[in-house]
Amino acid sequence: MGNQQEKDALFEALVEAAKALGNGRRAQLIDILGQGERSVEELAAEIHQSMANTSQHLQRLLRAGIVYSRRSGTRIYYSLASPAVERLWRALREAAEAHSGELGDLVRAYVGNRADLSMITRDELLLWLRQGDVVVLDVRPQAEYEAGHIPGALSVPFSDVKSRLREVPQGSEIVAYCRGPYCLYADEAVRLLTDEGRLATRLEDGFPEWKAAGLPIEQSATVRNAPPRP
Amino acid sequence: MGNQQEKDALFEALVEAAKALGNGRRAQLIDILGQGERSVEELAAEIHQSMANTSQHLQRLLRAGIVYSRRSGTRIYYSLASPAVERLWRALREAAEAHSGELGDLVRAYVGNRADLSMITRDELLLWLRQGDVVVLDVRPQAEYEAGHIPGALSVPFSDVKSRLREVPQGSEIVAYCRGPYCLYADEAVRLLTDEGRLATRLEDGFPEWKAAGLPIEQSATVRNAPPRP
DNA sequence: AGGCTTGTCAAGAGAACTCTTGAATAGGAG
DNA sequence: CTCCTATTCAAGAGTTCTCTTGACAAGCCT
């Protein structure tokens, strides 16, 4: 019958993934990779860390089997290793949200007051889409839109919203979405649009949740093609 | 718009639960608490650690909002804080198993060879139960049986299986279950019963998975009653 | 080849984690 | 009240983690 040493070793291995997730920087990386694959350079810029440090965090994730990497020319692209990882990240957020009053304070500190913001759920958006006359705006960076987006959504990266206002049809209800509940791109887009007199609303969560719910997604023709994995 | 410092703080908080899970000892505690609440002393014995050390690990879990504790006389009982934690623990195991180079070896080292073992899934057991003529044996410690078990199961703790053989009806198919796929109690019970000429099979996973699947459960009248939580 | 860009490696300072030991505390029993 | 039990607290040694810095490697371009 199995002894304690072997049991310890087994649990220590089971827990490798948790250790890898157990760091704020790496969690941000996972959150970003949930949108699609990215190069080390892009990731380093997103989390405001040096390349060397970002690279080291990514290798920790790689060793834990949480991400996958492939080389393309002089760049190396990382992506989440499997849907099991997305589920793990979601379960972690849900467990954190279920407790800890402190978390609420931190969310408020980061996202600010959302009371003025019109927000709808995924189900409500689906209803609206069936009824037509909704414009869906993907306000994430272009690369993330290309890696996958809600069918029919227009790509208007957050930074371009103001200058590309005229491209958005008048008269229709506008729904903006981004990376998820902790992402502020859609918040700001909705505020900008509302200030311009448009009817704008944000989707409560983001693209990963849409995809996780099994809803249809669309990819750009120009998406960077990843070769099949070994 | 939220700045990086606030974002870092938010993710650092989100990740508290992962840090708490990111330790083999604490993972074993979670695994045991998945069966029901236990005192510090019992937990310390299960993981073969000192009381002081076990207590410290438990407080780490408490601070992370992963477990809940209540005092009863001179004892303190710990239990999982919510179903979200059970889901998190399951998601972690699934993510670890999805990649698993090394993990498979460690499982084999701990559980040994299961090729000789007759095993059935939850669905098969449900089918058998509907057809009748199955005896279900809960071979976990008595306390865990009392905290919740498969309806109609008999409590025969692993250590008593040999001496209480006569209590198990002859002629019927016997299905033994315990804590989960990494628990060896049911393995040994099945081997013992098979050696005695009985028709014995183990349930592939354990009680927590049964409960998580939303199947009915039963509690002993003598279960330690936890007061409603604040 | 040589230079450029993108990533990784290696070493080290400071912080956090883990386990041990011995003392302190809270509740129950006599 | 005193003793006993179950648990927590506090301090410390050894280990692991995190970030920085500067060197190294791999693939492009000319």
Residues of chain B with CATH 1.10.10.10: 4-86
**Residue A54: both structure tokens together:** 């970002």
3 state SS of B68: strand
Close Cβ partners of A2 (under 8 Å, ≥ 6 residues apart): B109, B110, B111, B112, B184
Spatial separation of the C-alpha atoms in residues B148 and B33, rounded to whole Å: 12
* Strand D closer than 7 A to residue A48 Cβ: no
3 state SS of A3: coil
Which positions on strand D lie below 7 Å from a protein C-beta? Answer: 5-10, 17-23, 26-28
Lowest mean pLDDT among A182-186, B63-67, B138-142, B223-227: B223-227
Say what the pLDDT of residue A49 is.
Answer: 95
Report the chain A residue with the minimal C-alpha distance to residue B186. Answer: A1
Nearest nucleotide to A73 (CA to C1') is D27
Contact: A95, B111; criterion CB under 8 Å: no
Q: Beta strand A134-138 with A75-80: parallel, antiparallel or unpaired?
A: unpaired
Contact B168, B154 (CB under 8 A): yes
* Strand C closer than 7 A to residue A41 Cβ: yes
Contact A22, B15 (CB under 8 A): yes
Say what the pLDDT of residue A86 is.
Answer: 94
- % of chain B beyond a pLDDT of 70: 94
The pLDDT tens digits of the residues spanning B214-230 come to 999 998 754 444 444 44
The pLDDT tens digits of the residues spanning B154-173 come to 999 988 988 998 888 888 89
Contact: A21, B18; criterion CB under 8 Å: yes
Contact B88, B16 (CB under 8 A): no
Range B127-140 average pLDDT:
92
Residues of chain A with CATH 3.40.250.10: 110-212
Residue type, A208: P
Sheet holding A134-138, edge to edge: A119-120, A200-203, A173-177, A134-138, A154-155
The pLDDT tens digits of the residues spanning B195-208 come to 988 999 999 999 99
In the predicted model, is pLDDT for residue A121 greater than 60?
Answer: yes
The pLDDT tens digits of the residues spanning A167-186 come to 888 888 999 999 999 899 99
Say what the pLDDT of residue A41 is.
Answer: 95
Backbone phi, then psi, for B95, in 5-degree steps?
-65, -40
Say what the pLDDT of residue B2 is.
Answer: 65
Residues of A recognised as catalytic: 178
ipTM of this predicted complex?
0.89
Beta strand extents in A130-198 (DSSP E only): 134-138, 154-155, 173-177
> Is B183 a known active-site residue?
no
For the domain spanning B113-212, the CATH number is 3.40.250.10
Range A76-105 average pLDDT:
89
* Strand C closer than 7 A to residue B57 Cβ: yes
Residues of chain B with CATH 3.40.250.10: 113-212
Nearest nucleotide to B60 (CA to C1') is C17
* Strand C closer than 7 A to residue A55 Cβ: yes
Q: What's the helix, strand, coil split of chain B in %, to 5?
A: 50, 15, 35
The pLDDT tens digits of the residues spanning A146-157 come to 889 999 999 999
Nearest nucleotide to B59 (CA to C1') is D8
**Residue B158: both structure tokens together:** 């692993």
> Has domain A110-212 been given CATH number 3.10.310.10?
no
Spatial separation of the C-alpha atoms in residues A148 and A207, rounded to whole Å: 8
Residue by residue, DSSP assigns A102-128 as HHHHHHHHHH---TT--EE-HHHHHHH
For the domain spanning B4-86, the CATH number is 1.10.10.10
Spatial separation of the C-alpha atoms in residues B42 and A33, rounded to whole Å: 41
Contact: A88, B94; criterion CB under 8 Å: yes
Say what the pLDDT of residue A1 is.
Answer: 57
Alpha helix (H) ranges present in chain B?
Answer: 4-14, 16-21, 24-33, 40-47, 51-63, 83-99, 102-111, 122-131, 142-147, 185-195, 207-212
Range A121-127 average pLDDT:
94
Distances (CA, A) of B170 to A38, A133, B137, B174: 62, 69, 13, 9
Say what the pLDDT of residue B101 is.
Answer: 67
A vs B, Cβ pairs < 8 A, gives 189
The shortest CB-CB distance from B28 to any of A11, A16, A87 is to: A11
Close Cβ partners of B48 (under 8 Å, ≥ 6 residues apart): A4
Range A22-48 average pLDDT:
95
Residue A223's pLDDT band, with cuts at 50, 70 and 90, is very low
What contacts 24+ positions apart, CB below 8 Å, involve B120-124? B120/B175, B120/B201, B120/B202, B120/B203, B120/B204, B121/B203, B121/B204, B122/B203, B122/B204, B122/B205, B122/B209, B122/B210, B122/B213, B122/B215
Apex CA B33: angle with CA B29 and CA B34, to 5°? 115
The number of residues in chain B equals: 230
Contact: B100, A65; criterion CB under 8 Å: yes
Say what the pLDDT of residue A100 is.
Answer: 65
Range B183-187 average pLDDT:
93
